[in-house]
Amino acid sequence: MRVYLDNAATTPIDQEVLKEIYQVMESYYGNPSSIHAFGREARTVIEKARKTIAGLLHASPSEIFFTSGGTEADNMAIRCAITDLGIKHAITSEIEHHAVLHTLKALENAGTIKLSFVNVDAKGNVNMEHLEQLLLENERSFVSLMHANNEIATLTDIEKIGILCERYNAVFHCDTVQTMGHFPHDLSKLKVHFLVGAAHKLHGPKGVGFIYVNHRIKIKPLLYGGSQERNMRGGTENVYGIAGFAKALQMAYNEMEEHKNYILGLKNYMMEQLLDAIPDVQFNGETDPEKSLYTVLNVSFPEMEMAEMLLFSLDIAGISASGGSACSSGTDIGSHVLTGIGASSVRPAIRFSFSKYNMREEIDYTISKLKEICLLNVQA
């Protein structure tokens, strides 16, 4: 049996999305910047997709700009806002995605900004009192905090953060890559200036994302070139990727409650089975369904010999999971997220992440293999 439990890294593409992409690739191959009929047809595909995504998010189509993915969108929000708005202070947390952390630290190292880190508790929850203190103590700040942590699933109260940022005239950027298509986002009510998403996290294609830029914010492009994306992002648009993204997001919204209930059932079942099968297993981050992303479960296993072989042993058994953020896989650097919440450094940790395509039988198989591996290591 082969089991894929690494959906937080990327999801399998939906067949309906694939059909949409094939149809666009075959029929709308003109350059969308060309003024002839073939170009206009391709441009129509992009604008239809933009309108679909904007409608689902309760935004204006003029506020949606397509990118190559979440990382580019995060960089665009951070670098352009700080440079173009003259911001000298930024606030983030130690457990953000590296697309945010590395970008902000590079700006700090260049002397562009002073960078502050808001405190988080042992489950990854942002300390709102400390955030308000940082906002109060500094001039206009740039705040970058994600909606759900990609490793430990903890949800952040972005509505409350948005209100705080408005009170102190701060610019708020939110990475919603993990929650896009899994939770509704109403940008007509959420007080956010920048918000980003990526198609491959919700059964869409890789290599395409978007950034929402609130119409009250004026920034210059991150990438210069042609006049694409209304002069905000140079480079020929990924027409079929954009069409696939819109199709995937539309399907996700149509099926959101059904999939949430199903996937949460799988996650709860795995937690129950782990507690029964493996002594002293622990869960990292929030596990309360109201406070966590239902697609992600981070598990710390008992200290064991050859702990570094746990993921490898699962892979040999046909089970794909992650030791942390997929963007850091292949390195021997421990998870900065688990370090940031003070998790044990001697316990091996695995992130299991689920999708609508997973089945209970796959969970049973994974539990049986984990039990075997843990027993062998304890005996060793």
Quick one: DSSP state of residue 227? S
Rounded to 5 degrees, what are φ and ψ at 142?
-105, 120
Alpha helix segments (H runs only) across the chain: 15-27, 37-57, 70-75, 81-84, 98-109, 128-137, 158-167, 228-231, 239-254, 256-277, 310-316, 336-340, 360-379
Quick one: DSSP state of residue 185? -
Query: Is 327 designated active site?
Result: yes
Q: Choosing from 80, 174, 327, 374, which is the catalytic residue? A: 327
* Cβ atoms of 299 and 274 closer than 8 Å: yes
Distance separating alpha carbons of residues 104 and 82, to the nearest angstrom: 10
Quick one: DSSP state of residue 262? H
Q: Which of 290, 289, 291 is nearest to 271 (CA)?
A: 289
* Cβ atoms of 155 and 148 closer than 8 Å: yes
Active-site amino acid positions: 327
